[in-house]
Structure 1
């Protein structure tokens, strides 16, 4: 049964999906981005890994849901483009962007200067790392030092893995036992491992850990660690500039804050400026 579940998750994450029928048609207006800057004419193709409820996930009907999905669909609408989503593991997103498989990474990728040298990035959302424990918090994790020696799961290749390794190294430098870090293809599999007792904690982000806590699945025992802005990422500077304008418009009319408030997410500072190679 567990193998079947993991196979289903893997299949879902490699399947291109389109916006719901009610949202699939772009409005009758002139697209703000030329087709030469897009993977598909008249379409905004976005990559996402829908394993992070409530920000991006698949509901019981197999539909993409969450704050980032709503944001991407609204951005496409305001650009007069048809939204299209590709479900893919995070580790494939940056190479796929460079290979023109999609126009925009819409998965809350954490901003770093290294990444901004490779692609166009717009910081739009504030986030921080959080730790979820097994139900009942049997390891009694109350502070960072309590992570010493535990087996912890995290998604492969992301900011969360980097921060987990930094925390583990800091523990070791202070004479404590480092964590045993296990990486997984995505957060859904990492949390499944926590449920199965294969790891003792999982590193994710605040909003995701809070959602699992709210559901009564896994308590969020630590949060607010290493706050860092998340970003949208692009290959095309032209597209990035237009998306930046849309975010500024949404911020001015209050719709962006209203969306973020519904999900308990904070706006990043910086005015949605595009940062990347010229």
Structure 2
């Protein structure tokens, strides 16, 4: 597990100046007073990654920094694999999951979720696409990589089960701790494709590392910030209110546009306002 300091590689904490204003929410229940501690898996460019100078970059850190500033808190990031991020809310390791976690109704039964951006998925392949991958069916009988325990991992397994039921060969699904490891496996020829966010696919394709076999898959899935179900009510609502303010003053549109991200207003289930979703069993 790593913390970040702006401008340094994997040490300390990433900080940004907080704008302490008279209208700041008072006494927000964070694990460390005066700080907003967020979990992130900084291996998914351009949404979240470490640049060559060791700085945390991407849409999600930019959003987290702006949210923290408006809450008059100092942003702090814990760089951990996704599999531990949801449990870490309940054990008070961090206040908020800020890693592009997909919204799912079953997740909203155990945690408070604030959807903020719409996603789609893609299949990233070797340069030149020598295997001719054009969709899920192209991967029947082939090794496929993804990130463990995330939405893409669950979805590719569901799709594989459906294809097997139709008589196709089973995929050899390899789930890695991070997308960086998954792409390393693709570069080493260990898998035929990586299944993950299409923004990540576009990032690598633009840099000539790999090609995109298929994109825009399963569109309309929102990413969400996550908060503890039992204790995160005040913080979740404070963050959703900040995001509404960012929509109203144009900051949200500016950030989304700078990363080519699809705004939450295009989510099929969008109700007209950024909101907290929590439906405990």
Q: What is the TM-score normalised by the length of structure 1? A: 0.91
> 8 Å contact 1:19–1:85 — kept in the other structure?
no
Name the structure 1 match of 2:259.
Answer: 263
> 8 Å contact 2:38–2:75 — kept in the other structure?
yes
CA distance in structure 2 between the partners assigned to 1:160 and 1:33 by the alignment: 36
CA distance in structure 2 between the partners assigned to 1:131 and 1:46 by the alignment: 29
CA distance in structure 2 between the partners assigned to 1:19 and 1:72 by the alignment: 14
After superposition, the Cα gap between the structure-2 partners of 1:162 and 1:31, relative to the gap in structure 1 and judged at 3 Å, is farther
Which of 83, 90, 107 does residue 75 from structure 2 map onto? 83
Q: CA deviation at 1:199?
A: 1.0
Q: CA deviation at 1:61?
A: 0.9
Q: CA deviation at 1:264?
A: 1.2
> 8 Å contact 1:17–1:85 — kept in the other structure?
yes
1:152 aligns with 2:127: no
Q: Can you give the 5+ residue segments of structure 1 that lack an aligned partner in the other structure?
A: 1-13
* Equivalent position SS for 1:212: helix
Indicate the larger mover: 50-59 or 251-260.
Answer: 251-260
CA distance in structure 2 between the partners assigned to 1:29 and 1:85 by the alignment: 23
CA distance in structure 2 between the partners assigned to 1:174 and 1:202 by the alignment: 23
RMSD: 1.7
CA distance in structure 1 between the partners assigned to 2:74 and 2:213 by the alignment: 40
**1:105-144 mapped onto 2 (5 Å cutoff):** 105-144=97-136
Q: Can you give the 5+ residue segments of structure 2 that lack an aligned partner in the other structure?
A: 8-12
> 8 Å contact 2:28–2:234 — kept in the other structure?
no
**1:48-197 mapped onto 2 (5 Å cutoff):** 48-197=40-189
Name the structure 1 match of 2:247.
Answer: 251
The structure where helix makes up a greater share of residues is 1
Which of 267, 271, 274 does residue 272 from structure 1 map onto? 274
Q: What is the TM-score normalised by the length of structure 2? A: 0.90
CA distance in structure 2 between the partners assigned to 1:117 and 1:65 by the alignment: 31
After superposition, the Cα gap between the structure-2 partners of 1:22 and 1:133, relative to the gap in structure 1 and judged at 3 Å, is closer
Q: CA deviation at 1:148?
A: 1.2
Indicate the larger mover: 35-44 or 82-91.
Answer: 35-44
Indicate the larger mover: 142-151 or 203-212.
Answer: 142-151
1:215 aligns with 2:207: yes
Q: CA deviation at 1:195?
A: 0.5
After superposition, the Cα gap between the structure-2 partners of 1:91 and 1:258, relative to the gap in structure 1 and judged at 3 Å, is same
Q: CA deviation at 1:18?
A: 3.8
> 8 Å contact 1:16–1:85 — kept in the other structure?
yes
Deviations 1:43-90 (A, max 9, x none): 111110000000100001111000111010000011111111110000
CA distance in structure 1 between the partners assigned to 2:135 and 2:106 by the alignment: 30
